């Protein structure tokens, strides 16, 4: 018996050893592949400095994420000023899910070996200088949801194989030199002309440009009902149902034509609602247009018991659709104006194009002469604010690793809105209540795009200041001018909420003679070197001092009084990833010392200090 037990132990040790060796071999293969990429790229900003070929495991490198088996699942090198060419060895990253190489100056062809990355969910190569054809092999990426190759110099036909990726949700091939007929079958049947814009030699129904030798397109004829005959209400009902079904079939068969025709309609025409049982699966691109009746049924006629929250844009209701899926329905309370329907539809479409792992995905919309509703996936874990301050006693508080992930994830989402949406989107109300948490407690930025979309301007003068007390940047409050730096300020306050668990504005702090503004309260504790009072007591000291210190530094850099001195969100992401924070913090400390000396010598009695202007230089060395 004992001999048999010893044999089993030996066998288990052998198995564990083999698994360990397999992990090391896998890490070696992936590390070699990434080092091949590094050697083929020019890196003026030393973004790849941590990619050390002497380290067996690439999971310790910056901009690389691994799973629990030490296999690379994510490469984040967007907007890193890289140039050079990709290498075929990238096809060896078999567990890679996210390849983010957007907004660089990478050239050459897209390696066909990327078709081996069958776990890939997102391939972002946009805003580069790629040439040549789109590889046919990309059609093998059966799990791919986001394919963005726009703003390159790609040529040739669009591979028919891509239409077989049934999981594909977002496709952007715009601003290239592609040619030939755009496929309209398979997954391509739902994409609109926006996905293929500015490729002058593309043709086909989706582009509304006929291919040579093909008959010209014509918009669908206006639909009219025959006049009812006396005593034939039943047959009239049948005619109506048949007419609606025919119209629906036409929309489904030729979505691009219908979309183009709808866009040419006169502004004063209204979009009328259709009862749910007569409303087919009509989509706008990847958006479903829900009927009002469908959403009334889902939310129990917008019952108060289903209210998830209230905000500046309206109430949010929990709903269950006919297929059983849970959704959050935002009922907008904006005043309706004649002619606003087409504008609303256009802006909804633009919001739907902002798709990122850390952005709340718009699922659909509803539009009637009196209602505007947006439909989102339901987030089971609520918002960061509710988890910090309104959680039931039976639920565990957010632990420190989750809070760090929330900080980084929300920064990545905001960075995408600012730098990779066209036109850029300014949130204007960044706060813990608008950062939602999915089933895995991953951060998802919500409520973006409900403020005005920004064009390519440095600032945008708004008709009304939108935001929440305690989160509003000083320049936005005083001038009505918002920019990306307005969001950076709100993000910095949100970081302080994460660290402290406190509200951004809380009159209850007056009871302890403390500041009602969270930023002022934090600065006061920093002056008194009482950093231990900053950290949320729910964490019960289960955090790493140095990491808390770093988050406080990022928060203070983001909440500087002058918007020009705040970092961009792309810089915030890099600082949170450990790149450049120490240098930026040291530089800020020096500037603050000089500023204090100047102000002490030349004090202007007309100057009214506010909570965002200055903070005496402090030396953060972690809570104690």
Q: CA angle 85-88-93, nearest 5°? A: 115
Q: What is the mean pLDDT of the chain?
A: 77
The pLDDT value recorded for residue 304 is 93
Q: Are 167 and 143 in contact (CB under 8 A)?
A: yes
Among 145-154, 239-248, 554-563, which is the least confidently predicted range?
Answer: 239-248
Cα 480 from Cα 575, distance rounded (Å): 29
* Angle (CA) 283 287 289, round 5°: 60
List the single range of 260-264, 554-558, 573-577 with lowest mean pLDDT: 260-264
Cα-based distances in Å from 258 to 245, 297, 542: 15, 28, 57
Name the pTM for this structure: 0.60
Residue 8 CB partners (closer than 8 Å, separation 6+): none
Instruction: State the Cα angle at 469 between 466 and 471, rounded to 5°.
Output: 80
Q: How many CB atoms lie within 10 A of CB 137?
A: 18
- Alpha-carbon span 430 to 405, nearest angstrom: 17
Confirm whether residue 590 is marked as ligand binding: no
The reply to whether 382-593 shares the fold of 29-203 is no
Over range 550-574, report the average pLDDT: 92
From the list 295, 428, 267, the residue with the least C-alpha distance to 372 is 295
| Residue at token pair 């890196």 | 43
Residue with tokens 């102000």: 599
User: Using CA atoms, how far apart are residues 505 and 529, in angstroms rounded to an integer?
Assistant: 22
> Which helix or strand (DSSP H or E) is residue 172 part of?
strand 170-172
Higher pLDDT, 239 or 391: 391
Dist CA 195 CA 286 (whole Å) = 11
**Residue among 322, 314, 315, 280 at smallest CA distance from 297:** 322
Yes or no: say if 427 and 410 are a contact pair by the CB < 8 Å rule.
Answer: no
The answer to whether domain 29-203 has CATH 1.10.390.10 is no
Q: What is the pLDDT of residues 267-292, one digit of tens each?
A: 332 233 333 333 333 344 457 888 89
Q: What is residue 543's three-state secondary structure?
A: coil
Closest CA to 285 of 355, 232, 228: 355
Angle at 405 (CA atoms; ends 433, 61), nearest 5 degrees: 155
Q: What is the pLDDT of residues 46-57, one digit of tens each?
A: 889 888 877 667
φ, ψ of residue 466 to 5 degrees: the values are -110, 140
Which one is predicted more confidently, 537 or 22?
537
Contact 424, 571 (CB under 8 A): no
Q: Nearest Cα to 79, choosing from 127, 123, 146, 42?
A: 127
Q: How far is CA 29 from CA 88, 91, 200, 454, in A?
A: 13, 11, 42, 44
For residue 598, the surrounding DSSP H or E stretch is: helix 581-601
> Are 467 and 447 contacting, i.e. CB atoms less than 8 angstroms apart?
no
Query: What one-character DSSP code corresponds to residue 448?
Result: T
Q: What is the pLDDT of residue 370?
A: 83
Superfamily of domain 285-378: Phosphorylase Kinase; domain 1 (3.30.200.20)
Q: Give the tens place of pLDDT for each residue, 381-416.
A: 999 999 998 888 888 899 999 999 999 999 999 999
CATH class of 382-593: mainly alpha
- 447 CA to centre of own chain: 11
Taking CB atoms within 8 Å and a gap of at least 24, the contacts of 64-71 are 64/34, 65/98, 67/95, 69/23, 69/26, 69/95, 70/23, 70/26, 70/27, 71/26, 71/27, 71/30, 71/95
Task: Say if residue 297's pLDDT is above 70.
Answer: yes
**Residues 95, 67 contacting (CB under 8 angstroms):** yes
- Nearest CA to 475 out of 566, 551, 414, 554 is that of 566
Give residue 215's pLDDT.
59
Q: Give the residue extent of every domain in the chain.
A: 29-203, 285-378, 382-593
Q: Give bridge partners of residue 315 from the DSSP assignment.
A: 310, 331
Give the residue numbers annotated as catalytic, written as ranges. Answer: 429
| Residue 219 predicted with pLDDT over 80 | no
């Amino acid at each position: 018996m004992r001999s048999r037990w010893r044999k089993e132990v030996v066998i288990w040790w052998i198995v564990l050893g083999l698994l360990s060796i397999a992990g090391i071999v896998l890490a070696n293969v992936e590390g070699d592949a990434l080092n091949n990429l590094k050697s083929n790229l020019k890196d003026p900003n030393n973004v790849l400095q941590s990619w050390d070929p002497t380290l067996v495991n690439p999971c310790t490198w910056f901009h690389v994420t691994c799973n629990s088996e030490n296999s690379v699942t994510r490469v984040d090198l967007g907007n890193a000023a890289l140039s050079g060419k990709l290498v075929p060895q990238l096809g060896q990253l078999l567990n890679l899910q996210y390849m983010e190489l957007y907004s660089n100056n990478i050239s050459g062809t897209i390696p066909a070996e990327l078709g081996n990355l069958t776990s890939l969910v997102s391939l972002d190569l946009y805003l580069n200088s790629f040439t040549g054809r789109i590889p046919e092999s990309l059609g093998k990426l059966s799990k791919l949801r986001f394919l963005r190759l726009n703003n390159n110099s790609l040529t040739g036909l669009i591979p028919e194989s891509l239409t077989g990726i049934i999981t594909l949700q977002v496709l952007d091939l715009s601003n290239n030199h592609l040619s030939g007929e755009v496929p309209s079958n398979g997954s391509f049947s739902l994409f609109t002309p926006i996905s293929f814009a500015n490729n002058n030699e593309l043709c086909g129904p989706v582009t509304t440009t006929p291919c040579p030798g093909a008959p010209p397109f014509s918009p669908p004829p206006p639909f009219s009902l025959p006049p009812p005959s006396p005593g034939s209400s039943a047959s009239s009902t049948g005619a109506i149902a048949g007419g609606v079904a025919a119209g629906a079939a036409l929309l489904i068969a030729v979505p691009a034509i219908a979309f183009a025709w709808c866009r040419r309609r006169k502004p004063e025409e209204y979009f009328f609602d259709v009862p749910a049982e007569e409303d087919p699966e009509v989509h706008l691109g990847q958006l479903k247009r829900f009927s009002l009746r469908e959403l009334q049924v889902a939310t129990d006629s917008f019952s108060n018991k289903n209210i998830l929250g209230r905000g500046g844009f309206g109430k949010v209701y929990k709903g269950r659709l006919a297929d059983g899926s849970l959704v959050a329905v935002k009922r907008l309370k904006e005043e309706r104006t004649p002619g606003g329907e087409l504008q609303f539809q256009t802006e909804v479409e633009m919001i739907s194009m902002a798709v990122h792992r850390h952005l709340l995905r718009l699922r659909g919309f509803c539009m009637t002469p009196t209602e505007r509703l947006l439909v989102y996936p339901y987030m089971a874990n609520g918002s960061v604010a509710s988890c910090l301050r309104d959680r039931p006693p039976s639920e565990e508080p957010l632990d420190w690793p989750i809070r760090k992930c929330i900080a980084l994830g929300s920064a990545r989402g905001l960075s995408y809105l600012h730098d990779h949406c066209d036109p850029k989107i300014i949130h204007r109300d960044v706060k813990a209540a608008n950062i939602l948490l999915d089933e895995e407690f991953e951060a998802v930025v919500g409520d973006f795009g409900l403020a005005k979309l920004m064009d390519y301007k440095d600032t945008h003068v708004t008709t009304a200041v939108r935001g929440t007390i305690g989160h509003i940047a000083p320049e936005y409050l005083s001038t009505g001018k918002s920019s990306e730096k307005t969001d950076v300020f709100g993000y910095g306050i949100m970081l302080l909420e994460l660290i402290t668990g406190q509200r951004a504005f809380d009159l209850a702090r007056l009871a302890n003679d403390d500041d009602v503004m969270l930023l002022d309260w934090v600065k006061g504790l920093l002056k008194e070197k009482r950093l231990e009072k900053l950290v949320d007591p729910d964490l019960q000291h289960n955090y790493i001092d140095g990491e808390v210190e770093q988050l406080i530094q990022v928060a203070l850099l983001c909440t500087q009084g002058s918007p020009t001195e705040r970092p961009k969100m792309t810089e915030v992401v890099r600082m949170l990833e450990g790149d450049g924070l120490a240098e930026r913090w040291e530089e800020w400390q020096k500037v603050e010392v000089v500023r204090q000396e100047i102000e002490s010598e030349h004090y202007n009695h007309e100057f009214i200090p506010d909570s965002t202007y200055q903070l005496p230089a402090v030396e953060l060395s972690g809570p104690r």
